[in-house]
Copies of this chain bind each other. A is one copy, B any other.
């Protein structure tokens, strides 16, 4: 209990230091922020050595504890990867500054001049998995949008994150900015997440990136505003009118390009009218691509050798080379299936029928709805945002890929000349 109180005080103290830094960051002009971002990029390249040493310790510990090879790969840094991460900061420097952007403005009938402008959120917390690049990306995006960052990474990347943040903080100090604009929170204990998401008044926004378990605990316990990210049970629906060659390419790309990311497809639904022609060749293509199919009875009848789908298969986010597959009698049935089982991330229709495309894009209630395109395109970089801090699957505040504007709020500035409001 005392240890927990101490940890709480540590998190709160960091948040209070972050507020002081945020107050300074909010007043910076773009030139100052870009200079800092470039200094951070240079510093990372110049100090790759200690970062790689720290990373080697994390990787060794991960290997010893039996970390899965995919996770180990994401955790591992190389000189080339550090160079790429530094390049990300340079890209953020090249993006326009969201702060000060006028969202709306008008002069009222009484002469009051109104502008709604973007301003920083203030203190932004990130909770994330063992990917060291997120540490640097989040710090860079927060800084560019005028926010102080509280970073709560995975304990399995503790040494790497500590080394990275030390380099970033030194670079900030070097250009005269407060080091506390970027702080790493203790990560040994899960309780630090709880203290972060309940630090109401001290923290303005928390973005959890991680699995359904983390998201659920954040939803239940948070008193600080949060944005849910990254759970994607994405669907591809192959309509009766689909170009079936295109459909096959798009299913394979949506599923197999990078199965571990949230925009990969987890279910394919095929219209009954084309099932007989399409399912056998799709099943073959999926098998050749290394994908295990979990199919309903009608799909399985056309694709011998696939696994039977259980009830859970329609709701699970595999994040692996597995896909659920079913046959539906209509577009309407597909839309209802998606409404029942989807996570509101990304769904695609493959069709040549404009009415079907319009019905699908209008009725499917997801962050992104694709027509004749791979679900893999839901991504901040692909969408031309230049960066991404996460993909929101909630409807409040931001939906879909989040970048710099989504890390800001707005303020109404009203200029009068002694205006009083009549009774």
How many copies of this chain does the complex contain? Answer: 2
Contact status B400-A249, CB under 8 Å: no
Compute how far the CA of A204 lies from the CA of B19 in the bound complex, rounded to whole angstroms.
31
- Judge whether A292 is part of the interface by a CB distance below 8 angstroms: no
Query: How far apart are A364's CB and chain B's nearest CB, in angstroms?
Result: 8
- Judge whether A223 is part of the interface by a CB distance below 8 angstroms: yes
Contact status B225-A395, CB under 8 Å: yes
Interface hub of A219, A378, A418, A423 (most chain B Cβ within 10 A): A418
- Judge whether A399 is part of the interface by a CB distance below 8 angstroms: yes
- Judge whether A372 is part of the interface by a CB distance below 8 angstroms: yes
Contact status B200-A219, CB under 8 Å: yes
Complex interface bits, A260-275 against B, C-beta within 8 A gives 1, otherwise 0: 0000000000000000
Chain A, 364-380, CB within 8 A of any chain B CB: 365-374, 376-378
Binding site of A, secondary structure by majority: helix, strand, loop or mixed?
A: mixed
Task: State whether A371 and B418 are in contact (beta carbons under 8 Å apart), knowing that A112-B377, A382-B108, A395-B122 are contacts in the complex.
Answer: no
Closest to A115 in B: B361
- Judge whether A410 is part of the interface by a CB distance below 8 angstroms: yes
Task: State whether A423 and B362 are in contact (beta carbons under 8 Å apart), knowing that A106-B384, A369-B411, A418-B250 are contacts in the complex.
Answer: no
Closest to A418 in B: B246
Sampled A-B contacts (7; CB under 8 Å): A257-B421, A257-B423, A369-B413, A371-B414, A371-B416, A374-B416, A377-B416
3 smallest CB-CB distances across A and B, nearest first, come from A373-B416, A253-B420, A395-B409
